[in-house]
Amino acid sequence: MDKTILDEIGFDTSSDFDGWHTNVYGAHKISKHFPSYIETKYTFDKSQNFSEYKLVNEYYEMADSLPKIKKFDDYLAYLSDKDVYIVVALKDAASKHLANKLEVLGATTNWDDNEKYSYVGLFNPAKNFSEELIKPHSINKKFPIKTNRPFSAEISSAAKISSDFSKITINQRGDILKNKVKRGLNFVIFNANMDSVLDVANFDTYKEANPERQ
């Protein structure tokens, strides 16, 4: 970088260097100027126009936002139009409080008479994709790879009337819930495009109608 540019950014070689490299003050001046220098000297395609950029940007936005959402209703509302796979497994009991709240994800189960049944669900609201199963005894449901679901999953649920447990495995990587499983609905949010888990959450829907995540 020539001396003219150093003068423009106020770089002082006597105070912005430590030996053979910049100190924190010099690094700040260079870093602040560097983007405009690169943009002036070179021509780049705008990455914001690339579909890959949008996918990565959406991924990090969701990965940052989801853990911050505390209330059950807000969590469902946030996910209701997202292109992610929402994996659900019930432990212990769901309660009539749940009513038909999962409909925003594409569910059709009515919990009025099934609050202590075992339940598993797999949804992608953006793709209008939904698979669910509810039974009075324990469930171990395998979801093989399909065209509209580019990954495999195994979901287990046992309500209070059976063995009382939950387990979620994606792409045979072991139980994602592990020691995080608790009473109520256990969620794993999976981004198939990035082959990565975005969030793991639990809501004790047996306790109240709009519980906070545990």
Cα–Cα distance for residue pair 98/111, rounded to 1 Å: 7
| Whether residue 1 has pLDDT greater than 60 | no
CA 184, 107, 136: angle at the middle one, nearest 5? 55
Confidence band, pLDDT 50/70/90 cuts, at residue 146: confident
Predicted local distance difference test score (pLDDT) of residue 162:
60
Residue pair 154/142 in contact (Cβ under 8 Å)? The answer is yes
Predicted local distance difference test score (pLDDT) of residue 2:
65
Task: Tell whether the torsion through CA atoms of 194, 167, 124 and 71 is positive or negative.
Answer: negative
* 85-105 core/surface letters (b: 16 or more CB in 10 A; e: else): bbbbbbbbbbbebbeebbebb
Q: Where does the chain show beta strands of DSSP type E?
A: 17-18, 21-22, 85-92, 118-124, 129-135, 139-143, 153-159, 165-170, 184-191, 196-203
| Whether residue 39 has pLDDT greater than 60 | yes
Task: Tell whether the torsion through CA atoms of 75, 78, 81 and 86 is positive or negative.
Answer: negative
pTM for this prediction:
0.76
- Give the pLDDT mean for 41-63: 79
Cα–Cα distance for residue pair 148/127, rounded to 1 Å: 8
Residue pair 42/86 in contact (Cβ under 8 Å)? The answer is no
Residue pair 134/114 in contact (Cβ under 8 Å)? The answer is yes
- Give the pLDDT mean for 134-140: 89
| Coil, helix or strand at residue 62 | helix
Q: What is the DSSP letter of 211?
A: P
